[in-house]
Structure 1
Amino acid sequence: MTEYGRGPGSEPWHPEDPLYGDGGWEGQQGHAGHQPAYGGQPQHQYPQEPQQEQYGDWNDGRPQPYDQQQYQQSYDQEQYAGQGQQQYVPPNQQAYHEGAWDGTGTHAHVPYAADPGDPYGQQAAAYGAEQPDFYGTPDAYPPPEPPARRRAEPEPEAEQPRPDWDPGPDQGEHAFFAGGGTDDEDDEPEGRGDRRGRGGKGAKGSKGKKGRNGCACLVVLLVFGGGLGGVAYFGYQFYQDRFGTAPDYAGDGNGDEVTVVIPKGAGGYVIGQKLKEAGVVQSVDAFVSAQQSNPEGKTIQDGVYTLQKQMSAASAVELMLSDKSRSNLIIAEGTRNTAVYTLIDKRLGVSAGTTAAVAKKDYKSLGLPAWALGRPNLKDPLEGFLYPSSYPVAKGQKPEAVLRGMVSRANDKYEELGLRKTAESLGLDGPWELLTVASLVQAEGTSHDDFRKMAEVVYNRLKPGNPQTNGMIEFDSTYNYVKNQSKIDLTLSELRKYDNPYNTYYYKGLPPGPIDNPGEEALKGALDPTSDGWYYFISLDGKTSKFTKTLAQHEELVKEFNASRNKD
């Protein structure tokens, strides 16, 4: 038997079945009182294998007869006329087109009534209207059940082309967001639903598909929703970073003072980061924006600043540009190391002598250049290398860190000015002697013009055969250095009796090393001296110096100076 010919089980055909034996089309016509369906109008017939018992009888128990030959001719004329196409007949139905088996070795025509679901189809055909094709597509196969056993079906949607092969109960394609197997069952014809039911997998498979599809939908929605949330978050962050207003405090601070050290060469972002870390400003971007908006914002220098926490960026910039916030350690030109050490101790809040002890013990590890090491008879190896400038020194720092920063600044300046390149052209033994000359110029001079002339005085006196001093420098500042004092009233007898390498009244030539920390102007004066023949100088008012070329001229100026002092 074919798939659609029988129900489950092995029960034989019942003799009372209207399709059994010779009870075919002719036999059915013999039933008294039975009229053809739809008023005897010719109907399209679809060849079908014998129905199962469950189909039962229609109406009064008698099958509805119609002429199969008439159906075949009408069907061929309407569906294939002029198309040159061949009707597709499933292999298991071929025998029923030729004639159903009657159990006696002959074939009998198998009658089926028209589709009861369209009771008006034949009436429309009777009036010449074009009839819908119920049997030209696979959707019409197998034929509908009798009305008594037919289940109510939803209104059919527009038919979609179906493949001309049977994919099987579990091979059909589902839309990704379909509701599961239930919808698939509704879309298939009843015959196929019965077939799947017979396999025992229809309900279970559909439920499984629905569960899997539901989980898949949930996973996709979660992933898709999470992706959208991530895109929205990062998009907002990108907008805030590029176009949003930077976070900023309001006002001039909360009254809580804090010290901030700004390193040398720091730009806006570095300064802003230091201020943010100290709690002064709320964001780096706010500070940079305020700095760029201020006409003098780019002139913020390195150093120590006393500010308040939670200041607006604009107020922080304004305060840093004023002298009120700066608390740097200022080293003046010509300051000796002993005075520098005292200043550092006070700024760091350490006991007196702490920095001097570190300098004496660790001077070799503080960054001195090679040409400054190994010098004999030095009072302080770091003299001349604590370069005059502004330094960010605050409590909490170590003395060695402060000293190392000063030495580094000196090395940079000396390299910038070219001490090593110029020393030989001036008749000096390397940059060390040039630095020593600059320290003498710094101690005796008062202005840039003084520095150049003062440098010439030193170079002229250093000449061994000069007729004025015979190689003696005779600067009072060298004696005062070794005595750690700054006196003016010194007698020649006192000066010439004191035996010390730094005393230029006692020893010829330069002292062992620098006697102070010269500034840039004194260094430039030592690098570029005048050439006017100066040998002597004197300051009459303590502010300006007068220079002479001979000892006689110098003695006249000394008398003038003494006379002015006696009047006072």
Structure 2
Amino acid sequence: MYGDGGWEGQQPHDGRQPYGGQPQHYPQQPQYDNWGQEQQPGYGHEQYPYYDEQGHPQYAGHPQHQYQQQGGWNATGTHGQVPYPPDPADPYGQQPVGYGGGQPDFYGSEDAYPPPEPPGRRRPDPEPEPEAVPEEENHPFFTGGGDDDDDEEHELANRRDRRGKGKKPVKPKKRRTGCACMVVVLVFGGGLGGVGYYGYKFYQNRFAPAPDYKGDGTGESVTVEIPKGAGGWDIGNRLKEAGVVKSAEAFVHAQNDIKGGNGIQAGAYLLKKEMSAASAVKMMLDPNSQNNVVVTPGERNAGVYEAIDKKLELSAGTTQKAAQASFKSFGMPTWAQNNGEVKDPLEGFLFPGTYPAAKGMKPDAILKQMVAQAKSKYDAYGLTAKAESLGLNNAFQLVTVASLVQAEGKTHDDFRKMAEVVYNRLKPGNTETNQLLQFDSTYNYLKGTSNIHISEKEINSNHNPYNTYTHKGLPPGPIGNPGEDAMLAALNPTHDGWIYFVATDGQNNTEFAKTYAEFQQLKEKFNATSGN
């Protein structure tokens, strides 16, 4: 045992009772009030109190006096010791070799260390513990266990018991009523009900057939517009909202089951209401059900206007008149031009693609979609900056070049060479053609024809700005709607010196030349093929 007095409580090894009133031989030990504090002056001369049987403190007058050992505790809680005179040969005479070695164990007896306290300071005997609750009621749910208030009161009672200040009677534990059990049953039952409901929904979603109509639909028709990039679920939801199919799930299942079902294109479709999902998929795969206008690369505006009139079941010329009257409200780029020489301000701005065009729609709405697509593409290309680097005045001229490339080139491989031909002929130092493009396509655009056999007399007699045989430089504006391939070729031409070209087979085989002599050879080849 370690007290504040260090080793003052060790047992003797001679078998004598250590606290039976017999004096013991111990060296004087220092006393410390606080660990680490400096020792007080006069160490070894302090007065050490001890207590008599009535608990009154007694003091010795000198540390070298011998004191009769008392059975009490000093003020610091350590037992007062009465030292024998020190033995010079053995300052720790009669001490045991090691703590507890070969000594009787008095722990738990009347002679135990430390000895009993004086009667006035003894603690009251602990009260007997309350009777244990039968085992079947020990669960916290039935006995009220886990109540914070009860636990706190029992803790306070235990503290009072330890301090010897009395004890509060043990509070009887609460018992749960049958209502609590009923709550558990209801909650558990509700949980099972919820699990059952969601399990049913899971089964319906995963295994049960999706809601679907039967047959090919009613006699009522409806137009549904499918935007570009729409997937199966988006298409199914649009059809469901229009009353065509009963559920998007059924449409997606049918689309996956039918071969080619995922090939449905963007556009407007004329369908029937309350169709089975399978019938809807098959009808949408049929080109006859599509109410779309397709703008092909290089197509002129005149052909687009005509196609819209047919799809909307309008009289001929209706769309063209709408374009002339409202083109300024279609969102054209700011660099687009409309001077007196431009034949159609929208030419070159009805971008190739597929657009919804169903009965009941207005021509203006369809044209706006085409213009918006062209503006988006041209903005992405950065035409204004590119035009300057290519020696052109503005982006409008660059679109015009792309339309020429599209019209004169026959294949994808022709486009870049054709773009170089245009740029080389536009150069101020061009002595081969003297800045004359001499393209049949520009004259055909002016005349609204597609004739490859044009006499020199006819061409040379016409001085319209679109006639590039008699008018230097570019035509006033685009001569068609260029596609992406032609536009990219106009932005990135070859640099091989091409300045002449001839469609030697009259259709798809275009050959290029760098000198006039080479051009004459190609022309002879063309005449032999065409029978001229």
Do they superpose with TM above 0.5? yes
SS of equivalent residue, structure 1 residue 370? coil
The residue number in structure 2 matching 1:550 is 515
Shift of 1:563: 2.9
- Look at both structures and tell me which one has the larger radius of gyration over its CA atoms: 1
Shift of 1:549: 0.9
* 1:364 and 1:373 in contact (8 A); partners too: no
The residue number in structure 2 matching 1:563 is 528
The residue number in structure 2 matching 1:521 is 485
- The CA distance in 1 between the partners of 2:469 and 2:504, in whole Å, is 22
Determine which of 213, 219, 229 is the counterpart of 1:265.
Answer: 229
- 1:476 and 2:440 correspond: yes
TM-score by length of 2: 0.59
SS of equivalent residue, structure 2 residue 210? coil
- The CA distance in 1 between the partners of 2:527 and 2:261, in whole Å, is 52
Output one character per residue of 1:411-470: Cα deviation in whole Å (capped at 9) or x when no partner. Answer: 222233443342222222232111100101111110011111111100000101112112
The residue number in structure 2 matching 1:436 is 400
- The CA distance in 1 between the partners of 2:401 and 2:322, in whole Å, is 27
Shift of 1:491: 2.3
Output one character per residue of 1:92-151: Cα deviation in whole Å (capped at 9) or x when no partner. Answer: xxxxxxxxxxxxxxxxxxxxxxxxxxxxxxxxxxxxxxxxxxxxxxxxxxxxxxxxxxxx
SS of equivalent residue, structure 2 residue 501? strand
- 1:353 and 2:334 correspond: no
- 1:454 and 2:394 correspond: no
SS of equivalent residue, structure 1 residue 311? coil
With over 3 angstroms needed to count, the CA separation of the structure-2 counterparts of 1:415 and 1:292, relative to structure 1, is: farther
Shift of 1:319: 4.1
* 2:291 and 2:311 in contact (8 A); partners too: no
* 1:303 and 1:327 in contact (8 A); partners too: yes
- The CA distance in 2 between the partners of 1:235 and 1:414, in whole Å, is 52
Quick one: which amino acid aligns to residue 301 of structure 2? N
Quick one: which amino acid aligns to residue 533 of structure 1? G
Determine which of 208, 231, 246 is the counterpart of 1:282.
Answer: 246
- 1:385 and 2:349 correspond: yes
Extract unaligned runs of 5+ from structure 2: 1-177, 180-189
Shift of 1:532: 1.0
- The CA distance in 1 between the partners of 2:488 and 2:327, in whole Å, is 26
Shift of 1:242: 5.3
Output one character per residue of 1:71-104: Cα deviation in whole Å (capped at 9) or x when no partner. Answer: xxxxxxxxxxxxxxxxxxxxxxxxxxxxxxxxxx
- The CA distance in 1 between the partners of 2:448 and 2:321, in whole Å, is 17
The residue number in structure 2 matching 1:412 is 376
- 1:486 and 2:438 correspond: no
Shift of 1:315: 4.0
- 1:312 and 2:276 correspond: yes
Shift of 1:357: 0.7
- The CA distance in 2 between the partners of 1:431 and 1:299, in whole Å, is 36
Deviates more, 1:454-463 or 1:303-312: 303-312
* 2:401 and 2:419 in contact (8 A); partners too: yes
* 2:226 and 2:268 in contact (8 A); partners too: yes
Quick one: which amino acid aligns to residue 269 of structure 1? W
Deviates more, 1:290-299 or 1:504-513: 290-299
Shift of 1:372: 0.9
With over 3 angstroms needed to count, the CA separation of the structure-2 counterparts of 1:495 and 1:267, relative to structure 1, is: same
* 2:437 and 2:469 in contact (8 A); partners too: yes
* 1:331 and 1:390 in contact (8 A); partners too: yes
Counterparts of residues 104-183 of structure 1 (less than 5 Å): none
Shift of 1:316: 2.6
Determine which of 262, 266, 269 is the counterpart of 1:302.
Answer: 266
Extract unaligned runs of 5+ from structure 1: 1-174, 177-226
Deviates more, 1:301-310 or 1:524-533: 301-310
- The CA distance in 1 between the partners of 2:392 and 2:256, in whole Å, is 48
Shift of 1:293: 5.9
The residue number in structure 1 matching 2:468 is 504
- The CA distance in 2 between the partners of 1:314 and 1:487, in whole Å, is 47
Quick one: which amino acid aligns to residue 311 of structure 1? M
- The CA distance in 1 between the partners of 2:449 and 2:419, in whole Å, is 23
With over 3 angstroms needed to count, the CA separation of the structure-2 counterparts of 1:392 and 1:240, relative to structure 1, is: farther
Shift of 1:310: 2.9
- The CA distance in 2 between the partners of 1:283 and 1:350, in whole Å, is 34
The residue number in structure 2 matching 1:466 is 430
- The CA distance in 2 between the partners of 1:255 and 1:559, in whole Å, is 63
Output one character per residue of 1:201-243: Cα deviation in whole Å (capped at 9) or x when no partner. Answer: xxxxxxxxxxxxxxxxxxxxxxxxxx99x99999799668856
TM-score by length of 1: 0.55
- The CA distance in 2 between the partners of 1:432 and 1:348, in whole Å, is 31
* 2:499 and 2:514 in contact (8 A); partners too: yes
Quick one: which amino acid aligns to residue 551 of structure 1? Y
The residue number in structure 1 matching 2:211 is 247
With over 3 angstroms needed to count, the CA separation of the structure-2 counterparts of 1:234 and 1:455, relative to structure 1, is: same
- The CA distance in 2 between the partners of 1:406 and 1:529, in whole Å, is 27
SS of equivalent residue, structure 1 residue 413? helix
- The CA distance in 1 between the partners of 2:470 and 2:456, in whole Å, is 11
- The CA distance in 2 between the partners of 1:430 and 1:234, in whole Å, is 67
- The CA distance in 1 between the partners of 2:438 and 2:235, in whole Å, is 49
- Structure 1 or 2: larger helix share? 1
Output one character per residue of 1:32-85: Cα deviation in whole Å (capped at 9) or x when no partner. Answer: xxxxxxxxxxxxxxxxxxxxxxxxxxxxxxxxxxxxxxxxxxxxxxxxxxxxxx
- The CA distance in 1 between the partners of 2:370 and 2:274, in whole Å, is 32
Shift of 1:258: 4.3
Counterparts of residues 421-432 of structure 1 (less than 5 Å): 421-432=385-396
SS of equivalent residue, structure 1 residue 453? helix
Quick one: which amino acid aligns to residue 560 of structure 1? K
- The CA distance in 2 between the partners of 1:319 and 1:342, in whole Å, is 25
Quick one: which amino acid aligns to residue 343 of structure 2? K
- The CA distance in 2 between the partners of 1:343 and 1:405, in whole Å, is 15
Quick one: which amino acid aligns to residue 424 of structure 2? N
- The CA distance in 2 between the partners of 1:400 and 1:250, in whole Å, is 38
Figure out how many residues of one structure are paired with residues of the other and give that number. Answer: 348
Q: CA RMSD in A?
A: 3.3
SS of equivalent residue, structure 2 residue 420? helix
* 1:376 and 1:512 in contact (8 A); partners too: no
Shift of 1:246: 2.9
